[in-house]
Structure 1
Amino acid sequence: MDREWGVEESVGVAAEPAVVYRAVSEVRRMGEWSPECRAVWARRGPLRAGDRFVGFNRRGLFVWFTTCRVTTAEPGREFAFRVDSFGLPIAEWGYRFASDGDGGTTLTEYWRDLRTGRGAPVAELLGKVFTGVPPQRRAAANRAGMRATLERIRRALAV
């Protein structure tokens, strides 16, 4: 089975891109939407590029935390962050917001695996230990999680 290094999913949301961006970039709400993230510790208000936060995650019996740094914060356009664990690069997660021309938004969530280079074997082992998901199944697990997350955001922001 070939390993996927990135995936993305999209959904239509019945709210303008600025509204959807505000909700998604308020990372403390991620626990409401994500099937894996349970809570986020972050400062209040809009986060800017360079800001950091901590995600507390759970999958089945597995519980872990990650440190995150906002890499892109362009209101109404894109919000992304890099995830590290124990000082090792793990992934980049992001959201793109595009007007659908009818007052709504096409919201795209994307993930890119950063577990490459010298630290990759350790990062992959930690990923499997903490999440219970082997590297070859991570993209499929993330795709399923994205679909659930996007649907929950869509419902929460329905006008």
Structure 2
Amino acid sequence: MTDAERRWSLEESVLVDADRTTLYGLVSDLRNMGRWSPECRGVWVRRPPVRTGTRFVGFNRRGPFLWFTTGRVTKARPGEEFVFDVGVLGLPIARWGYRFDAEEGGTRVTETWRDLRTGRGGGLASLLGTVFAGTNPERRIAVNREGMRTTLARLAAQAATVRSAG
């Protein structure tokens, strides 16, 4: 697969019966990612709550593959948008984001992913993704799409629990 054929971004969305503020609060508490994501097993944040510039460490696993990422929150706009970049060994890997749009019946949550393995170091970062995470560039879109759908479904389920408890 050439870089011209490679998909560099993806988005998935779900309509959730919850308000934007509640959903933003769940997503921006990065420690929740270990509950929802099929890859992320946990996130360590030195000083919650997170805001733009907050750094964190993610611990990930898929099958026999274990790896960690370092991250930094790049946008934290309550009720609107939450975005963070992740990398490995100082190399940029991906930008993940969540948008929250009010719709009839709740909030449309859109999860976005952009591959940052470009330019200088991009080849090494892609190789590390294959070695440590077990996903080569050809499979990345399918793996991420499935993971995003799972993450959003689990977020929606937790939002329903929060709503019924409130």
Q: Which runs of 4+ in 1 moved over 4 A?
A: none
> Which structure 1 residue ranges, 5 or more long, are not aligned?
none
What is the match of residue 57 of structure 1?
A: 60
What is the match of residue 154 of structure 1?
A: 156
Q: Distance in 1 between matches of 2:56 and 2:92?
A: 15
Aligned identity (percent) is 60
Q: Superposed, which structure 2 residues align to 1:23-62 within 5 Å?
A: 23-62=26-65
Q: Distance in 2 between matches of 1:155 and 1:8?
A: 19
What is the match of residue 124 of structure 1?
A: 126
Q: Distance in 2 between matches of 1:44 and 1:23?
A: 16
Secondary structure of the 1:157 match is: helix
The superposition leaves residues 18-46 of structure 1 with CA deviations (integer Å, 9 ceiling, x where unpaired) of 00000010000110000000000013533
Pick aligned residue for 1:145 from 120, 136, 147: 147
Q: CA deviation at 1:137?
A: 1.2
What is the match of residue 115 of structure 1?
A: 117
Number of corresponding residues: 158
Q: CA deviation at 1:90?
A: 0.5
TM-score norm. by structure 1 comes to: 0.96
Question: Counterpart amino acid of 2:135?
Answer: V
Pick aligned residue for 1:80 from 68, 83, 107: 83
Pick aligned residue for 2:25 from 10, 16, 22: 22
Q: Distance in 2 between matches of 1:44 and 1:109?
A: 24
The superposition leaves residues 54-90 of structure 1 with CA deviations (integer Å, 9 ceiling, x where unpaired) of 0000010000000000000000000000001000010
> Which structure 2 residue ranges, 5 or more long, are not aligned?
none
The superposition leaves residues 78-135 of structure 1 with CA deviations (integer Å, 9 ceiling, x where unpaired) of 0000001000010000000011134x11000000000000101110000000111101
Secondary structure of the 1:21 match is: helix
For CA contacts below 8 A with separation 6 or more, give which structure has more relative contact order.
1
Pick aligned residue for 1:90 from 74, 87, 93: 93
8 A contact 1:22–1:46 mirrored in 2:
no
Secondary structure of the 2:118 match is: coil
TM-score norm. by structure 2 comes to: 0.92
Secondary structure of the 1:11 match is: strand
What is the match of residue 6 of structure 2?
A: 3
8 A contact 1:56–1:64 mirrored in 2:
yes
